[in-house]
Amino acid sequence: KAGVTQTPRYLIKTRGQQVTLSCSPISGHRSVSWYQQTPGQGLQFLFEYFSETQRNKGNFPGRFSGRQFSNSRSEMNVSTLELGDSALYLCASSLAGQGMIDEQYFGPGTRLTVT
């Protein structure tokens, strides 16, 4: 099976712009989670989507949003970029039905740099 793929791998944006990142989960996985990784804050949970519905959300401002499509592919969007949004954004997929605890499989990440 192909793993989790994320595009683009690297991105440079300017403050105030917006950005969209894409994630394709492992075939058959319906849950997609997004994480932000920075040297200062470590790995922080952004949100999780399952069957096109957001069912879990971390403590990030409304500038961070996401969606999931019927084929389970997911996008996250960050509007009005700030310097502090520079990070590695990781996507993870799992089978994870309700009440299930299932390991998450991570993609290689998108490195976002905001200048």
Half-sphere exposure of 17 (CA within 13 A, CB side): 13
Using alpha carbons, select from 40, 42, 49, 46 the residue that is nearest to residue 94: 49
When binding is defined by CB under 8 A, the residue of 19, 78, 92, 112 that contacts other proteins is: 92
Q: Which is nearer to other proteins, 1 or 14 (CB)?
A: 1
Site membership for other proteins, residue 45 (CB under 8 A) = yes
CA distances from residue 82 to 19, 48, 66, 115 in whole angstroms, order as listed: 11, 23, 18, 8
Site membership for other proteins, residue 106 (CB under 8 A) = yes
What is the rounded distance in angstroms from the CA atom of residue 73 to the CA atom of residue 86?
23
Site membership for other proteins, residue 28 (CB under 8 A) = no
User: From the CB of 81, what's the least distance to other proteins, in Å?
Assistant: 22
- What residues line the site for other proteins (CB under 8 A)? 4, 6, 33, 35, 42-43, 45, 48, 50, 55-56, 58, 90, 92, 96, 98-101, 103-109
